[in-house]
A and B are shown apart, each in its own frame.
Chain A
Amino acid sequence: MLTMNEPADRLPGRAALARKVLPYALLSPAVLVTLAIVFFPMIQAAWMSLHDYILWKPKDFTFVGLKNFAAALQDEVFWISLRHTIIWIAVTIPAQLLLGLATALLLNQQFPWRPLARALIIIPWALPSVVIALMWVWIYDANYGILNEFMLRLGLIKASVPWLADPDTALYAIILTLTWQGFPFFAVMILAGLQSIPKSYYEAASLDGAGPMRQFWHITLPGISGVLVTAVLLRTIWVANSIDVIYVMTGGGPGYATYTLPLYAFIKARTNLDFGYGSSLAVLFTLMLLGLVIVYLRRAGRSVN
């Protein structure tokens, strides 16, 4: 099928063939490279997960079937990490969403310094995660951190809290950092959604006597619901996957207090060099995410057509 020019079958054989092949030929470099550097490695990861494979024993690559997966389900750390992953997503995403929504609603108002505010709000998004981790470790510092000083002065705490060294607060401290990093994304996405709602809807509603709250419920929310769902799906997948900030801030510690599932897989492979078990954790985690990915692809697939 060709959209442009005359139908292909009316052309002489060679030219028609060339036309048919051309779109694929143009695609082939990108497709072949991604096959080689993305899809092939993924299959390899799945293959590794079925083996005993420890990197410093390279000759020992024995097929063990689903042993690694069975071991994971017996592994206490696996369940701890899974629970943290769930808390981590369940708190971070709503926090990012609400803060992002508030920011977008504000940015959608008329005020003189709006362009400046809009440009500055996305700065966290552009920063390297290592730098984000670094500055928040400094903020949380037990002795000289500004958060302790701030809260001591306000009388919210009585003594300095070692935010990242205390197992009870470490995970939530990181969640605050992640919220800070990710809410601008929501703000920008939602703002784009807000701006696509025709102004006339609001004019009509206020002529009919609808107040700001009712306008919000009946015009704004339905108008941005599509963007909200897409943004939440995308962000959930990203937040679930992101391990760099935690890795730099606490390395999973203290103890297992900030382990999430992908982080556990990464540490298993990096520190213990246990690539077999590490890959099986990664594969398990991917399977858990797959549901979300499929929902997202369905939506994206619709917009592609």
Chain B
Amino acid sequence: MVGRKSLLKRILIVDVPMLLILTFTLGPYLWMLLTSLTSENRLFTEGPSLAGATLENYIRLFSTVGFLTNLIHSFIIAAGTVVVGLSLSVTAAYSFSRFSFRGKRYLLLQFLIINMFPVVLLILPLFVMMRVLGILDTHLALIIANATVAIPFSVWMMTSYMNGIPKSLDEAAMTDGCTRLGALWRVVLPLCTPGIIATGIYIFITAWNEYLYALTLGGRNVRPITVAIQTLIGEYEVEWGLLTSGGIIGAMPATILFLIVQKRLISGLTQGAVKG
């Protein structure tokens, strides 16, 4: 039985500190939300407030700044990266999880090492390379750039999900006349669907949020939302109502997706670390 005294103790040493940390975590975001709902001319006289909340900043964002095009660019790039990242990594992950072969460890570590290198080291040569190929400022350029992060990540995640599916299932399928690839396609992949979805969503989020590649390799034609927001900061320097509404819209898809898959994603992400 929980007595009143221990309840009070719990509130003091757990609930209150947790609430403080959550205030620190969510405060900046909520402040941005509140600012975006305050009309521009009241912002500097009375400060952000819920009284008289209005959507006028959001309406202006879409009507005059043309935010919708940027959202579409971001969507194309993020979706393209998901397709590239997943399709290239499924067979690789299967190979890692089901076979043991010479050089396996080095190949696996090869995928791990990629994300350790500074973005700057990659961004300069990629820019030069894409300039030579003439694909700067296209969706393809940004999909390729984002794939440098997505492929290794996805190989690791998919390998960890596939390791969780018993090998005996493939063997059974192959005894029933499936080929190797048939077993992958008909047995392993369907069982991995939740893992594939979580990995895909995470790739989508990182590609959506990506900024440096978009700034360097994009341009006038292809301008994803992150670059658009940064441009807004330069153009509408003091119009914080408009700026913060841009921030809310830009962060919305990633935040919602993240909250949906956070549980599965985190168990996948932390698995490797806990073993280490």
Q: Do A and B bind each other?
A: yes
Residues of A within 8 A of B (CB): 1-5, 20, 22-24, 26-27, 29-31, 33-34, 37-38, 41-42, 44-45, 48, 99, 102-103, 106-107, 109, 111, 117, 119-131, 134-139, 141, 144, 146, 149, 180, 184, 188-189, 192-193, 196, 226-227, 229-231, 234, 237, 240-241, 243-244, 247-248, 262, 265-266, 269-270, 275, 278-279, 281-283, 285-286, 289, 293, 296-297, 299-305
Task: Give per-residue flags for B216-234: 1 if the beta carbon is below 8 A from chain A beta carbons, else 0.
Answer: 1000000001110110010
Quick check: B92 and A31 within 8 Å, CB to CB?
Answer: yes
Collect the chain B residues with CB atoms within 8 Å of residue A1's CB: 100-102
- Interface residue from A26, A42, A146, A234 paired with B125 (Cβ < 8 Å): A42
Q: Is B205 an interface residue (CB 8 A)?
A: yes
Q: Is the interface of A mostly helix, strand, loop or mixed?
A: helix
Cα A248 to Cα B246 in complex, Å, equals 15
Quick check: A293 and B129 within 8 Å, CB to CB?
Answer: no
Say which size band chain B's interface belongs to.
35 or more
Q: Which 8 A-B pairs have the closest CB atoms?
A: A126-B258, A41-B125, A128-B209, A192-B270, A26-B95, A30-B92, A23-B99, A44-B125
Cα A129 to Cα B119 in complex, Å, equals 14
Cα A64 to Cα B254 in complex, Å, equals 45
Quick check: A134 and B229 within 8 Å, CB to CB?
Answer: yes
Residues of B within 8 A of A (CB): 10, 14-15, 17-18, 21-22, 24-26, 28-29, 31-32, 35, 43-44, 47, 88-89, 91-92, 94-96, 98-102, 104-105, 107-114, 116-129, 144-145, 147-148, 151-152, 155, 167, 170-171, 180, 205, 208-212, 216, 225-227, 229-230, 233, 240, 243-244, 246-247, 250-251, 254-255, 257-259, 262, 266-267, 269-276
Collect the chain A residues with CB atoms within 8 Å of residue B258's CB: 122-123, 125-126
Quick check: A226 and B276 within 8 Å, CB to CB?
Answer: yes
Quick check: B117 and A127 within 8 Å, CB to CB?
Answer: no
- Interface residue from A109, A119, A266, A299 paired with B120 (Cβ < 8 Å): A266
Cα A92 to Cα B26 in complex, Å, equals 19
- Interface residue from A26, A117, A180, A281 paired with B94 (Cβ < 8 Å): A26
Q: Is the interface of B mostly helix, strand, loop or mixed?
A: helix
Q: How far is the CB of B192 from chain A (nearest CB, A)?
A: 15
Collect the chain A residues with CB atoms within 8 Å of residue B254's CB: 126-128
Q: How far is the CB of B41 from chain A (nearest CB, A)?
A: 13
Collect the chain B residues with CB atoms within 8 Å of residue A128's CB: 208-211, 225-226, 229, 250-251, 254
Collect the chain A residues with CB atoms within 8 Å of residue B210's CB: 128
Quick check: A34 and B114 within 8 Å, CB to CB?
Answer: yes
Quick check: B26 and A192 within 8 Å, CB to CB?
Answer: no
Cα A303 to Cα B159 in complex, Å, equals 14
Cα A111 to Cα B2 in complex, Å, equals 12
**B28 nearest in chain A by CB position:** A135
Q: How far is the CB of B203 from chain A (nearest CB, A)?
A: 13
- Interface residue from A27, A37, A119, A124 paired with B147 (Cβ < 8 Å): A37
